[in-house]
Amino acid sequence: MTESGDDVVELSELIRELRRELNTAMADGRDDAVRFELGPVEIEATVAVERDASANGKVRFWVVEAGANGSYAHAQTQRITLTLQPKLASPDGTADRPVLIAGDEADGER
């Protein structure tokens, strides 16, 4: 299933990049007078599920590109929706608070 190598994205990488983008938006808006509290973030993706045949039996979720389902014909694909509730941790890790972001609206953003 993962013969294409660099073409695949693990679900964890997708979430890591989303976190990075949210951190960038938060840093960009730090000095803005108008900021927005970030609400729930929903991600909907089609993923291919792969179980490693080795002793540890690790399960991986690969995000499938639109129109690429044919290359994953021998893998089981699932459509999943994740709802994430971002919180900003205090430096000492004792409290979480809402995330405030700012920035320009991107094309297609709701």
Would you state the pLDDT for residue 20?
92
| Contact (Cβ atoms closer than 8 angstroms) between residue 62 and residue 1 | yes
| Contact (Cβ atoms closer than 8 angstroms) between residue 62 and residue 50 | yes
What's the rounded Cα separation, in Å, for the pair 72 and 102? 38
Would you state the pLDDT for residue 105?
67
Asked if the model's pLDDT at residue 106 lies above 80, the reply is: no
Would you state the pLDDT for residue 61?
81
Beta bridge partners of 96: 89
pLDDT per residue as tens digits for the range 37-75: 888 889 888 888 877 777 777 777 888 876 555 555 556
Asked if the model's pLDDT at residue 1 lies above 80, the reply is: no
